Amino acid sequence: MARGFRVLVRREEPHSGANYNLFDPHGLRHQALITNSADPDLAYLEARHRLHARVEDQIKDAKDCGLANFPCRSFQANQAWLFLVQLAQNLLCWAKRLCLGSDFLLALPKRLRYQLLHVAGRLVHSGRRTLLRLDASWPWARDLELAFQSLRTLPISP
């Protein structure tokens, strides 16, 4: 290894539901972090490393929103595609924070697509109002209804 680099190894218990592999002796996981930082504070280095894990989670979510495949040969078209991917990711983040219940705060885009966004519905115009009719037998219809109700109660800023 090059000079100035350190390897920090952390032993931890896996979260519930984690899959064990051959290299998890006695049910413990080992995580290695290679750094060239000269900072002696190991807790700070680990916290900084964990922030990078959050960034990697956001990149994984962006790939689920369409970042995994650029559809065109043209740079400008792919630039527009990237903008739409970022817009979709931001909309999902804001929807989770502002409209959806606590069950969906940590939901991945695939789960949100399956449970909430791919539901069949019908727009109905009645009495100068537009209503969205959802299939009552859809298991997450009530969650989607509550999301729309909380969206209506958000304050509108000028």
- Give the pLDDT of residue 4: 75
- Give the pLDDT of residue 25: 64
Q: How many CB atoms lie within 10 A of CB 83?
A: 10
Residue ranges in the chain whose pLDDT is less than 50: none
The predicted-structure confidence for 44-81, as pLDDT tens digits, reads as follows: 887 887 777 777 888 888 888 888 888 888 999 999 99
Q: How many CB atoms lie within 10 A of CB 104?
A: 19
Question: What is this structure's pTM?
Answer: 0.64
**To 5 degrees, how large is the angle CA 113–CA 126–CA 101?**
30
What end-to-end distance do the CA atoms of the chain give, in Å?
Answer: 57
Spacing of C-alpha 91 from chain mean position? 11
- Give the pLDDT of residue 80: 93
| Rounded CA separation 145/51 (Å) | 34
